[in-house]
Structure 1
Amino acid sequence: MSMSTPPGWYADQGVPGTERWWDGNAWTAHTRPLGGAVPPGPYQQSPSYQQGYQQPYQQPQSAPGGPSGRRGRVIAATVAGLVLVVAIAGGVTLLGDDGPKTVPRSAPTISEPAPGPSDDSAEPSADPTVLVDQLNGITLPIPDGWEKSDSVVDRSITMTTVEDYECPGHSSRFCHQGRVMSFTATQTDAATPEALAKEDIQDASDALYDEDSIGTNLYGGVTSHTVVKSAATTVAGRTGYLVRWKVKTGSGPGGYVQSLAFPSTIGAESLIIVRFGFDAGPKGPPLSGMDTITQGIRRIGDTTGGGVGSSIGPS
């Protein structure tokens, strides 16, 4: 008649110096130092246990299923290392009968980068009330009813009136009642703002009311012109000069053209041209708007100085 090993504390062959509780059928997860006190549990409530099993049981040599010999050591090692969770960087490793298993951690949450500090040196072109000519270091005020233009014509920074209409000399194209463009004068021998303004006015008249940059006649061509104004002025703290014509066209009401020339406020002070084209007639912008825009031209970053009437001369 074979006997099974009774419940009790037995030396854990897999962990020297440790005893593990055998429940009569299998090893449990309860351990204690070798020779330590019995922890609280159901077995403490049994007087027979305390009387008969206070000392470690003499392990039989061949208890089927019990903790004996090589088989006992295998069972002990299996119970002791069945589930060992080790936290490691990048995952959790589980050690069991079939070797290590790595259970990946959930993916870390990646936060969006915090917005950086604002760049005060950025171009102030986001302001809808200002047209910025970064190359020449100036800003032009955008009047009510005007907007920045996405198109760049003849290397210029441009603004136009918001409303447009069918061009009188070309019904499949659309024109604006007002246009203003700023650019650096490059193809010229003029040495002064006055010489440049008087030279450019004819080109301005042709570009704005005769033929556009691709040779399309939008107003029936310029038939004649009258000089309305020719005078020195001060722009952004620099001495400049303007010439203004009234032009008649083959179609439509004609318009007013102005060439304003002055030295740049930066670099080698190259000469700048600002061209104006205002339609004549009741739908065109008020002619006084040319003076308002001229007086409002500023150096980038300057919100107070310069303008017509300033006593500041060229540096």
Structure 2
Amino acid sequence: MTSTAISPIEVARQNIGAYKGELLASLPSHLQDKGVGWLTSALSALRKNDEVLRCANQDPGSLIVALSQAAQLGLMPGTDEYYITPKGGKILGVVGYQGEVELMYRAGAVSSVIVENVYEKDKFQWNPGTMTKPIHEVDWFGGERGKIIGSYAYAIMKDGAVSKVVIVNQERIDRAKKASATAGKSFSPWTSDEAAMILKTAAHDLAKWVPTSAEYIREQVRAVRDVANEPAKPTTETKPEGVVSPRQHHPEPAANTVTGELIDEGETTTEQQVDYDSEADAAWLAGTGTK
């Protein structure tokens, strides 16, 4: 009697499947109906990179930790929102550029987030003493823009105010790269998409100056709870002229994490390039495969 060897991707399916329920339960409400896509994105990230898959199977605990963080943050693993990378035989989860921006939008305090790289042939002006935001001119039809010399980021708040402008120069880029656990490796995002990682550095620095989802939503929930616990006012009280009762809150449409434009319900903020074995993965995603 011969035994059939289990493929590496099947081992990964089994490892993730053992925690599938917990991972999906950790997803925030806006992703609860996209659980299948979230799992597909995680599995696709493993299949696309042999080193990632090897480390995921070598240390499945580190994979589950990374996926748990992505789930709790509400970010798509294996995309520019949340990278799945190998490190020392283990899996390391890294919040990407779009993930940093997504968390700012989700907080609800900003109307737009601007994060741009500056190239050596661009025209860039910024004087914090006399300007509220930088002037960045690009010749979009002039061909090669040269190498990246820095980056900047700022947010326009819902009330129209401009946040602190964050400037990332070459020294800051070098420090971010040096601090990266995977910089210099062939599989590192710093190698495969350095421009995105420089944008991520600027977005990460900006996040220190604007509300992100965790802290901001916590305050909003606390405020709603405090109002709900207030004693009811007498109904005979006359309302001041011109004051109307607050309308029932309706969530605003989601915003594209890059442009800030509103998107239709059901449209995802990050396009996925899915690569999976349709029969085996479909059964697994549907809950009928190996767990």
The structure number with the bigger radius of gyration is: 1
Structure showing the higher helix proportion among its residues: 2
TM-score interval w.r.t. the shorter chain?
under 0.3
Structure 1 length-normalised TM: 0.20
Structure showing the higher strand proportion among its residues: 1
